[in-house]
Amino acid sequence: MVSASLLFAASQALFAAQLVLDADTERLQVGQTIGLRLTVIDAALPGAPSWPAVPGAKIAYQGVQQSVVRISGKTSRTVTYTYALTALNEGSINIPAMELNVGGEAIRTDALSLKVSPRATGPSGAKAEASLRALGEPVQSAYVGQVLVYTMSFRTPEQVLDRRFTPPTFDGLVAEQTRDGELREHRTVIDGEDWSVVQVDMPLVAAAPGERTITPGVMAVQVPELGRSGRGPARAFANVRNEVYSSESLKLTVRPLPAEGRPDDFSGLVGEFALSARLLDDTVATGDSVTLEITLSGDGTLAGFSLPPVAADAGFRAYDDTPTVEARVREGRFTSAAAFRRAIVPERPGTLTLPPVELQVFNPRTGRYERLQTEPLTLNVTPGEGEATLSTFSQGAADQRRDVEAQADDIAPLHPRAKADRALFRPQDPLVLGLVGLPWLGFFGLLVRELAQRVKPKADPRRALSQRLNRAEKAELAELLDLFRESLGLALGRPAPALDQDALSALPTTHRDEAQRLYADLEAARYGGGADAGLRERTLRLCRALLELG
């Protein structure tokens, strides 16, 4: 069925392309979702238009419908794109005019203004609340690099059949890399009444200083509604009701780390941490290894952190395994722990004292830089069988060990028939020669195969990435993130998985600012908020520019 406004627009257009924007209603309550329609008359678009961010509202694409209308004996074709608009704040929602280019001609809608009133208090008493927490307590300020937990809690005395959470726009905050957000449901008793509780916890890292605004989060729920007919238990589920609730917006002040007192060897860690170390054995032979276990735990992010290197004159060599990092969120509190395993290889016998492992961190609770260090550990190093060989190898000299010499017949045989039995296997026998030569033949074959593999041409990563960029005109967000990281990795000469926002400072000034902005926009879009319509084009343009860097 076509509305009267569309019929009027079609009759006035006389087959000229036109855009019409209308909504189910121009008055709604906070948390209410209504239908928003963009109708294209006598024109063709390549796909559903994307809406820019509209303050106070969430707009999500729903689907498309087509229809044909005959007016005065002539046919007019309409294509209607349907969106769901959810009001987040009390006041006004001002949807700007949308302008599109169709066949070289610019067509545009009228602007649309909606009035949003406070949510009417229903009999259910359902409520949604949000907060930013540090150490489990609500906060309104934080330092750059500090981990915060965004918590949204929704409660209702009704049974929740289904729920869908839409995250807010996290201005100046990015997702913590070692722990995803989690959604939990449980039942509780309030004033003797059963309530359903849905809670979302999302760990975030404050990435940029300044005054920040976190838009409302939205929780859409489906609850049972008593049927008006029917009998028995099924009556209670004869109908369902969809409701949408939004939390309040949040204000956050993000402060930069103080320059005063900042040590030159600052680790970059922000949080309250504890550091410990232990040796798995207190005795080791020269040339052998012993494992040093180092544990770092606290309330800050440990993503991408590595231990400081060992001094060259320490008297031992150290080899680090990939650390194991675990993080958790419980009751709005974020905690993380990293376990490092360092192989210690002493270079000479004697008593070896391992120096403390030292880290400089910033503690947001005290607002100061602090030094963490482990206790010195003592290792008893004994002479080892491999000591001479190890030192010879490290110096590059020839191996001084002697081959086993053939002995003369003056050594008496252990058995009277032993001398006669020796003649059963003569070196010149073909069987003996075959047994001796077979391993060498296999070794030669493996060597030839290895050399053949080495001469194979290696794929050019820049060419492969360029081909991916040429095919990415319709890339989704996940692929855009991957292309952005791969381009940064090639430009900086570093592995893509190890890159973070701090690494962008190494880019040339011609690309650094745009890369910083794009990094923040991609992170925001990843969690559902604030992506502008040209995000794909911006990403591909910067990726191509980074690819051209030498």
Beta bridge pairs of residue 91: 116
Residue owning tokens 């395993």? 341
Tens-digit pLDDT profile for residues 417-427:
444 444 444 55
Mean pLDDT of 437-452: 65
Tens-digit pLDDT profile for residues 159-210:
888 888 989 989 899 999 888 888 888 887 666 778 888 989 999 999 999 9
Which amino acid belongs to residue 234? Answer: A
Tens-digit pLDDT profile for residues 24-61:
878 777 777 788 899 888 887 778 888 888 888 888 88
Mean pLDDT of 472-497: 80
User: Cα(381)–Cα(219) distance, rounded to whole angstroms?
Assistant: 62
User: Cα(197)–Cα(103) distance, rounded to whole angstroms?
Assistant: 52
DSSP designation for 170: B
Percent of the chain with pLDDT over 90: 26
What is the pLDDT confidence band of residue 128, given thresholds at 50, 70 and 90? Answer: confident
Tens-digit pLDDT profile for residues 95-109:
998 888 877 778 888
Chain Cα centroid distance, residue 357: 29
pLDDT at 109: 87
Domains and CATH numbers, the chain: 4-117 (2.60.40), 127-255 (2.60.40), 269-382 (2.60.40), 461-547 (no CATH)
Whole-number average pLDDT of the chain: 78
pTM over the 0.95 mark: no
Is the confidence at residue 511, as pLDDT, over 60?
A: yes
**For the chain, first and last CA: distance in Å?**
59
Tens-digit pLDDT profile for residues 321-371:
889 999 998 878 899 999 999 999 998 999 999 999 999 999 999 999 999
User: Cα(258)–Cα(262) distance, rounded to whole angstroms?
Assistant: 7
Mean pLDDT of 528-546: 75
Tens-digit pLDDT profile for residues 70-126:
655 667 788 899 998 888 888 899 999 888 887 777 888 888 999 888 765 544 677
The β-bridge relationship of strands 141-143 and 182-190 is unpaired
Chain Cα centroid distance, residue 128: 27
248 touches 153 (CB < 8 A): no
Smallest Cα–Cα separation from 69: which of 77, 80, 57?
77
The β-bridge relationship of strands 324-330 and 290-298 is unpaired
How many C-alpha atoms does 260 have within 13 Å on its Cβ side? 2
Smallest Cα–Cα separation from 135: which of 228, 268, 272?
272
Torsion sign, CA atoms 69, 75, 76, 77: positive
